[in-house]
């Protein structure tokens, strides 16, 4: 059965409030758990799209929830030192009693993100190599008693991590991306795949390519958890849903709705319309779906989704 997660509006609150009220984030996380969502998620950015920091946010959410899994969608690990990050993640996983998932990506290659990387002391030109070494080093720190690592970007001598994740294999890593090299990286380094697909057809095509690459590389793609990140506005008033989603996207990204729609999966309309959208992704193989609501009324959207969309999908055995 497909499970559903809720992306916390950690950027939206920072954008809309002079003094951001973090208690609203905690209230929404508790509401999502009470409504039957399987997970809650936080995005990541330092400068390019300012928001509450992802790991800090999830630590607070962990203390206010009991059941939901906690995930990053997605974390940019190369903006942190991998030894420090491995320790922080292990600590957070213990705080969360083993409920943590790390969705991770390399970041887009554009001027805004390049400025962010530079301000954090990271060359965007090396982000792929840094990303791969970071994952390799963190996994070893979580699972080996002592680690010596000599990479191109990181050198560690006889490091012993004092804290380990609750699971002996470490925290699950779900990697973003849909271009060929990203899909191969998912197969080499990931426990799951977390793309942003523009449509069910795009998801299907990418999943088929992932399986082919898996056969070539000797890794069964079906071993990966297949997750989807998508943005919805559920409203019987279709015009209002479309208006709210357009405003949300253009304010969030600073580009036209049409341009962003070519990259992101966006769906606005009635519950029936959103159900059909999600069912098509599930039919294409999505096992977990992280929902972001493109609306100023996050609590209302959560409630509407839980009341009008989620039960139908659960009854259908999605």
pLDDT score of 315 = 78
Assess whether pLDDT exceeds 90 at residue 76: yes
Encode pLDDT of 212-232 as tens digits.
Answer: 999 999 999 999 999 999 999
Count of Cβ atoms closer than 10 Å to residue 167 Cβ:
13
Query: What's the domain count of the chain?
Result: 1
Across the range 200-211, mean pLDDT stands at: 98
Assess whether pLDDT exceeds 90 at residue 235: yes
Round to whole Å and give the CA distance between 169 and 181: 25
Round to whole Å and give the CA distance between 236 and 275: 13
Would the pTM count as exceeding 0.95?
yes
Q: What does the mean pLDDT of the chain come to?
A: 97
Q: How confident is the model at residue 281 (pLDDT cuts 50, 70, 90)?
A: very high
Q: H/E element holding 40?
A: strand 39-42
Encode pLDDT of 237-261 as tens digits.
Answer: 999 999 999 999 999 999 999 999 9
pLDDT score of 69 = 98
Across the range 165-180, mean pLDDT stands at: 97
CATH number for position 161: 3.20.20.30
Across the range 167-184, mean pLDDT stands at: 97
Burial of 19 (0-12, 13-18, 19+ CB in 10 A): exposed
pLDDT score of 318 = 61
Encode pLDDT of 97-136 as tens digits.
Answer: 999 999 999 998 889 999 999 999 999 999 999 999 999 9
Q: Name the 3-class secondary structure at 190.
A: coil
Does residue 201 contact residue 184 with C-beta atoms inside 8 Å? no
Does residue 13 contact residue 20 with C-beta atoms inside 8 Å? yes
Q: Nearest 5°: phi and psi at 282? A: -65, -40
pLDDT score of 316 = 64
Q: H/E element holding 5?
A: strand 3-7
Domain that holds residue 143: 3-315
pLDDT score of 314 = 83
Share of the chain above pLDDT 70, in %: 99
Share of the chain above pLDDT 90, in %: 97
Assess whether pLDDT exceeds 80 at residue 317: no
């Amino acid at each position: 059965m497909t499970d559903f997660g809720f992306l916390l509006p950690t950027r939206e609150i920072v954008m809309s409030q002079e003094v951001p009220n973090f208690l609203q984030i905690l209230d929404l996380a508790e509401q999502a758990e009470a409504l039957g969502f399987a997970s809650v998620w936080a995005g990541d950015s330092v400068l390019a799209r300012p928001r509450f920091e992802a790991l800090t946010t999830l630590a607070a959410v962990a203390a206010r929830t009991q059941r939901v899994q906690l995930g990053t969608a997605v974390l940019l690990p190369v903006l942190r030192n991998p030894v420090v990050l491995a320790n922080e993640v292990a600590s957070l996983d213990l705080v969360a009693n083993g409920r943590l998932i790390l969705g991770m990506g390399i970041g887009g290659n554009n001027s805004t993100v390049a400025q962010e990387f530079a301000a954090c002391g990271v060359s965007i030109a090396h982000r792929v190599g840094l990303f791969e070494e970071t994952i390799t080093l963190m996994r070893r720190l979580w699972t080996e008693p002592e680690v010596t690592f000599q990479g191109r970007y990181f050198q560690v001598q006889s490091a012993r991590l004092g804290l380990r994740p609750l699971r002996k294999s470490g925290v699950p890593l779900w990697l973003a991306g849909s271009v060929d090299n990203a899909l191969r990286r998912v197969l080499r380094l990931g426990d799951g795949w977390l793309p942003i697909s523009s449509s069910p057809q795009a998801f299907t095509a990418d999943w088929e390519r992932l399986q082919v690459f898996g056969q070539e590389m000797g890794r069964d793609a079906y071993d990966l958890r297949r997750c989807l990140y998508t943005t919805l506005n559920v409203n019987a008033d279709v015009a209002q849903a479309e208006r709210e989603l357009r405003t949300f996207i253009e304010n969030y990204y600073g580009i036209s709705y049409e341009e962003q729609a070519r990259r992101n999966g966006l769906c606005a309309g009635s519950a029936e319309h959103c159900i059909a959208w999600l069912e098509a992704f599930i039919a294409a193989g999505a096992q977990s779906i992280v929902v972001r609501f493109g609306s100023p009324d996050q609590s209302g959207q959560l409630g509407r989704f839980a009341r009008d969309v989620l039960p139908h999908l659960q009854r259908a055995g999605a």
